[in-house]
Chain A
Amino acid sequence: MQSQQAQSTQQITQHVHQWLSENWDPEAGLVQWRTLLAESGWGAAHWPEDYFGKGLSVEVSAAIEDVFAEFGAVGTAQTGVRMLAAATLLEHGNHEQKRQYLRRILTGEDHWCQLFSEPGSGSDLAGATTRADLDGDEYIINGQKVWNTSAHHAHYGLLIARTDWDEAKHKGLSYFIIDMHQPGVEVRQLSQMNGHASFNEVFFTDARIPRENLISTAGNGWQVAMTTLAHERRSFDRSRENKRVKQTGRIFVELKKELDISNEPYTWYPQRAGRADLVMRRAQETGAINDPVQRQEIARLHILSESAKWTAQRAKAAQKAGKPQGPEGSLGKLAASEIARLAARVHTNISANDALLTGPNSVHDGVVAEILVSVPAVSIAGGTDEIQRNIVAERVLGLPKEPRFDEGPFRNVQRNSAAKDPSK
């Protein structure tokens, strides 16, 4: 059985190799090439055959991506929020929606953003108060979103908004695709404490969404959002490196431009994780490696990061062996926060006043200072440590939940005081 599958995987990858040798052209335009990929189905082989895929398994699809990498051919657009949009559409979208959006997701022509968090609902995402009011064949949108990566160059947004204030919190939400290029949508960059601006705020003032852009049914928005979030978590660790950009040809020039734009918000992410990889080098450069007190802290960090690495490998090995997920699979994010905090402390102790410098006299182009001002984000972004601990305690350890104060019609739930109550 297994060898049969291996056999057919090998046949498929051979076929893809053949197809690439017949069709691949580094002098083609990026969109032109990806359009060919989308129509052939080889650019997203795990998608259904009706929608630009081949209906193959994720494993076979990964093997096909390896063939592309070996061949040096460019694949479909995989970066940013667009793949979350694709996964959500594939699961909850109707036929027209899939036909309309999926191809241009693969070609990279359309940029997408996610419009979930609000100033008044961060950890409690389902407490969103952005309104969507049906007016004839259109929904009218009013409210504010925040932490929207790439919203400033997005064509479309994935939006959750409240369509029913008399339903319970999770049941009054609906999920939409909104055209970002319209009056009534204002995007403002949000500056962070580390000097980068990776996120935006988005303001809606009587913005409009045609009724056919509702995904799934009105009131089912939370279920749809869960799909998006599940894929966001899965892509959390995906490497953003692309080794193919070194190659030559018109298509690579266009690809580099695309990657520069889509990777720009993430340049500080390695520093956010604490750069434990730099610690030994800095300790040797400064002589801290010879100080017994510093050695203790460096050793603590090494223990923590090695243990976290092995724990992730245990989780992966268990998953590969088809075993039920153990607790080790849910702990990565909390471990990452712990590593980042400790690494920032160790870097501070090693570099002392040099840790502060950002200018031309700084060590390694100001990277230590960037670590220090970026690490506080790691335990907030993508679910705070406090929420992670709730999840681990309740779902992994099976501990009882906190008492709730947000049941019943959402209209009556106590919320952040706003200048203007959006429920009225």
Chain B
Amino acid sequence: MAFIFTEDQEQFRDSVSRFLKDKSNTVEVRKLMATDSGFDPKVWQQLSQQLGMSGVHMPEELGGAGFGPVEMAVVCEEMGKSLYCGPYFASAVCAASALRLAGDEAQQETLLPEIISGEKIACLAVSEGRGVWTDEVFSTTATKTDGGHLLNGHKRFVVDAANAHSLIVVATDDQGIGFFVVDAAAQGISVTALESMDPTRKLADVQFTDSPAQKLNNSQPEQLRILVDIASTALANEMVGGAQTLLDSALSYTQLRFQFGRSIASFQAIKHRLADLLLELELAKSAAYQAAQTLADSALWSANGQIAHVDKVTEHASLAKAAASEVYLHTALECIQMHGGIGFTWENDTHLWFKRAKSSEVFLGTPAEHRERMLTALCAQSTDLRNSA
């Protein structure tokens, strides 16, 4: 990206945006969020197969489009704008990336094409505590048997678990932390949907009791950290998209609303806050775009990546997640405030984005946790610099 999107990326953004405007308007969002699955399989098929969104960052030989994190971030941002309800984040971003990192060639060839084509949905089960992914202790175990492993444990806050055909599970075996794939229909799996104040992101608890699983053969404990970076980067881009919609909504409403004989947007009490929101949003966008670019430039993503330092990727991913979380929530609160009483009604759409802002703020870790994670990664780089000097 080099601080500017290419013509091709802009065109891709336009086609994603047009599709989502049509298929994911708020009438549709409201309809889907009231359902158990929370998504429309037909729209998911279309965006996966016709537009290639679900595999945009996956290699062509596995059925993907062969692009990278920047294009993935474009999809996330546009989905954030329209509050798209579907398993993109869970399946395409998290589970597919886990398979790419931890699966061996044969496992990738078996599992990834159907996920990339959208025929199968996968999800990633990490958390057992507060849903922050980082700094977790994993008590879910994988016990080796003749044919594979048996999973036992309890995972929390698993996005789209109820929709998944397969689950990628972080568990501990005799080697340490590893990634395991398990069929959703396998024995001993119990998925309990969680009632959440954000009905656009479907969360579930998953209980495993002697569930037969297959270990991803290239599993390494540090892959979890990279997955947190990828997921944080994706979520940050989704969040700046959502914040943009909220800002647009506040801008349009305050100009239409007349009180005291003038548009309320002409009052400095309003317009200065809108200017501040624009500033915050543009700063957060820069951070989210940079995180995607750093990931794309890293040796983690491509063999000839320029950035060898994994700490740089973590620094930028957590920087973006912390920045975007706060901006999204602040924009949502200001948008409600600027709408006045109508902003607090169910009928007004603002609360849909407010709730997504809240659930994104805490998902993968709070802003404070990501600031700490960022600073740790930053300090690690300067220690290395000192040692190499």
Contacts and interface: CB of A to CB of B under 8 A. Distances in A.
18 contacts: A298-B375, A299-B374, A304-B283, A306-B287, A307-B283, A313-B3, A314-B3, A318-B4, A328-B282, A331-B283, A334-B276, A338-B279, A394-B271, A397-B275, A399-B255, A399-B266, A399-B274, A400-B266
B6 to A, nearest CB: 10
B275 A389 contact: yes
Contacts of B374: 299, 302-303
Given A316-B3, A323-B4, A334 B322 contact: no
Given A313-B3, A400-B266, A289 B379 contact: yes
A299 B5 CA distance: 28
B382 interface: yes
Interface residues of B, number: 37
A296 B262 contact: no
A322 to B, nearest CB: 11
B282 A327 contact: yes
B289 interface: yes
A308 interface: yes
B218 interface: no
Contact of A392 (B251, B275, B284, B371): B275
A348 B100 CA distance: 47
Interface in A375-408: 386, 388-390, 392-394, 396-397, 399-403
B262 A403 contact: yes
A314 B286 CA distance: 8
Given A331-B278, A386-B272, A303 B371 contact: yes
Contacts of B158: none
B323 interface: yes
Nearest to A313: B3
A216 B289 CA distance: 47
A403 B286 contact: no
Contacts of A331: 278-279, 282-283
Interface in A293-347: 295-296, 298-300, 302-304, 306-308, 310-311, 313-314, 316-318, 321, 323, 327-328, 331, 334-335, 338
B368 interface: yes
Contacts of B378: 302
A400 B255 contact: yes
Nearest to B290: A310
Given A302-B375, A397-B251, A402-B268, A307 B284 contact: yes
Contacts of A295: 371-372, 375
For the residues of A in contact with B, the DSSP-based class is helix
B35 interface: no
A327 B274 CA distance: 13
A280 interface: yes
Given A299-B372, A303-B322, A393 B284 contact: no
Nearest to A334: B279
Given A289-B379, A314-B286, A399 B271 contact: yes
Contacts of A302: 319, 374-375, 378
Given A307-B283, A307-B287, A401 B266 contact: yes
A401 B268 CA distance: 9
A306 B262 contact: no
Given A307-B283, A397-B274, A399-B251, 18 more contacts: A295-B372, A298-B375, A306-B319, A308-B283, A308-B286, A310-B287, A310-B289, A317-B4, A318-B3, A323-B4, A327-B278, A331-B278, A335-B279, A388-B275, A389-B275, A397-B271, A397-B275, A399-B265
Using C-beta atoms within 8 Å of the partner chain, give the interface range for chain A.
35 or more
B290 A296 contact: no
Contacts of B106: none
A195 interface: no
A136 interface: no
Contacts of B4: 314, 317-318, 321, 323
A321 B272 CA distance: 30
Contacts of A280: 382
A234 B12 CA distance: 34
A328 B272 contact: no
B303 interface: no
B15 interface: no
A389 to B, nearest CB: 4
B389 interface: no
Q: Which 9 A-B pairs have the closest CB atoms?
A: A299-B371, A393-B271, A310-B286, A307-B283, A317-B3, A392-B275, A317-B4, A400-B266, A389-B275
A183 interface: no
Contact of A296 (B284, B286, B368): B368
B2 interface: yes
Contact of B322 (A299, A321, A338): A299
Contacts of A313: 3, 286
Interface string B185-220: 000000000000000000000000000000000000
A393 B272 contact: yes
Contacts of B2: 317
A316 B372 CA distance: 31
A338 B290 CA distance: 21
B323 A303 contact: yes
Contacts of A292: 372
B345 interface: no
B110 interface: no
Contacts of B348: none
Contacts of A403: 262, 266
Given A296-B371, A300-B371, A307 B274 contact: no
Contacts of B375: 295, 298-299, 302
A42 to B, nearest CB: 33
B263 interface: yes
Most buried by A among B2, B276, B284, B372: B276
A327 to B, nearest CB: 6
A389 B286 contact: no
Most buried by B among A292, A306, A331: A306
A349 B140 CA distance: 42
Contacts of B319: 302-303, 306-307
Contacts of B276: 334, 389
